[in-house]
Amino acid sequence: MTAWILRHRVACYLVLNLAVGLGAALAAVVHGGDVVRAIYGALLFAICSAPLLLLQSLTSRYILLALFMGAYFMHFGALDLQYAFLGGDGGSTNVLTPAEGAALLGGFLALLGYLFGDRLMHETPAEGPQAEWPVPTLLTVGLMLWAIGTVDVLYYQVFIIPEKTNAAAQRGFAELGAYLTFAFLLLQLLQPLGLLMLAYGYARRRGVLWTSIVITVVVLQVVVAFVTDVKSTALIAGLIVIVTRTLVDRKLPAGWVVAGVAFIVLAFPVFQAYRTEITGVRGLNRAQAFMELGKVLQIALSSREKVQQGDPEDRAQTFVERAYIKDNLAAVMQHVGSDVPYLHGSSLVAIPMAFVPRILAPDKDSLSVGQLFTKQIARSDQDTYISISHLGEMYWNFGWPGIFFGMSLTGIFLGAVGARASVEQGPSMTRIMVLVATVQAMCIGFEGEIPNSYVVWMRSIAAIGVLHLLFARRRDQVAPATTRAMLPGAGPQLLQRFPNVMR
């Protein structure tokens, strides 16, 4: 089915967008909704589905663009189409708002920037099959990295920072000190890297052993996500396996996709119930909830239906509502430049300091726009973080020029990575690690703060570079004479290694 769609991608794109556009407009009329908002949703869908015109396979160098655009649409347009087709109190303006104009412009610029970055960095692929990392390395090192990273995440989130507040984080950092804080944050990068190595070994080898290990690791990561109240930890686990299997097999893993959808539909409300009932109504922090995990799970399961009922203001958000942040962007654009000053780049100062630990610079600047939004725009004294996305942060710093140049540069960056780490000629461990790290930081992380995404990406790439140097076999190293002597008739053969994408 996927191959048929890709072969007829132009016709599918046109038919799909015609159906979405006309259907959304007609449904909005029937439901008495905002037709302009429905048309906006359809236009954004057309922009975000444009990668379909470029994909010739699921290992295309444009796959990163497709994933980014999918996440972008969830953030700025999915709920608009839901209201258009199903009705609902989505508000009515009957005019294109500045936030909607910014979302359309940002998506279009990211698309053009990706094409430019791809053309800039794309090169003729090297001939010959890709070498592989040793299978024992994938298993042992993958399990070790995942286990260390998972224990670090669990201890850090439950006992060091038991509450999702800035005050709790500051207390935790103060108790740890600069050295231990740096170590804890650094070790957290190992969890996704270890899972990725296991997912790659599973995708290449299959079998009962690999399948059992990967399923067990994903389930345990879901448990850790529940305990720490960080849903993205669970979502990333399944996404890593799905993306890795897709890149290796050149087709979507139907079973894993179904399981992922089922998780979002069935388990996501349980996570929401945990946050609403346990940390909200009952006021337990994560350490207290961890000590009563069995009881907490029962409460969350029994409260699942409760948090799904009622008006949006009185119940927990659905997955689509949680991912939707266009309203936060609208609030930024309404206040910034009026009663809230521009940041003029002050929120981005952490990027050039990415590899300077607080051990060496304990007073280095760090500004959280998510918390600044709560205080200056939401006018709240609560110590909470509100996502405004990279798009909102670009506007808060530099206005419309920030969106124009920022989204263009984002597209160029993603296009360059997609071209350099392309698996069109066959997958390799290093290239897939680079792609998945980029998906995690720049696609899933787009809703967060710009410095966090780029700092995590740069540190992840540095870690991948170290692993590449340690475990990838060298292409340019001549086999030793003793090895050639064991192979009669063999000349000075080269030991294969992955093309070094870090250069």
Q: What is the pLDDT of residues 79-113, one digit of tens each?
A: 999 999 987 765 666 788 999 999 999 999 999 99
Amino acid 307: pLDDT: 57
Give the distance from CA 210 to its chain's centroid: 25
Q: How confident is the model at residue 501 (pLDDT cuts 50, 70, 90)?
A: very low
Amino acid 316: pLDDT: 62
- At 477 the three-state DSSP class reads strand
pLDDT over 90 at 430, yes or no: no
**Environment class of residue 23 by beta-carbon count within 10 Å: exposed (0-12), middle (13-18) or buried (19+)?**
middle
pLDDT over 70 at 470, yes or no: yes
Those residues with Cβ within 8 angstroms of residue 265's Cβ, 6 or more apart along the chain or in another chain: none
C-alpha 88/C-alpha 400 separation (Å) is 31
C-alpha 34/C-alpha 340 separation (Å) is 30
Amino acid 125: pLDDT: 55
Q: Average pLDDT over the chain, rounded to whole?
A: 83
Q: How confident is the model at residue 500 (pLDDT cuts 50, 70, 90)?
A: very low
Give the distance from CA 427 to its chain's centroid: 21
**Environment class of residue 340 by beta-carbon count within 10 Å: exposed (0-12), middle (13-18) or buried (19+)?**
middle
H or E element that contains 203: helix 190-205
C-alpha 144/C-alpha 437 separation (Å) is 19
∠ at Cα 171 (170, 173), nearest 5°?
65
Sign of the CA dihedral with 248 first, then 249, 252, and 257 last: negative
Amino acid 292: pLDDT: 77
pLDDT in tens, 361-390: 656 566 788 888 988 998 888 777 789 999
pLDDT in tens, 103-150: 999 999 999 999 999 998 876 555 554 556 778 888 999 999 999 999
Please report, to the nearest 10 degrees, the dihedral formed by the alpha carbons of residues 180, 183, 189, 190 taken in order.
-110
73-77, 89-93, 278-282, 301-305, range with greatest mean pLDDT: 73-77
Q: How confident is the model at residue 488 (pLDDT cuts 50, 70, 90)?
A: very low
H or E element that contains 478: strand 477-478
pLDDT over 70 at 481, yes or no: no
Amino acid 38: pLDDT: 92
Amino acid 338: pLDDT: 92
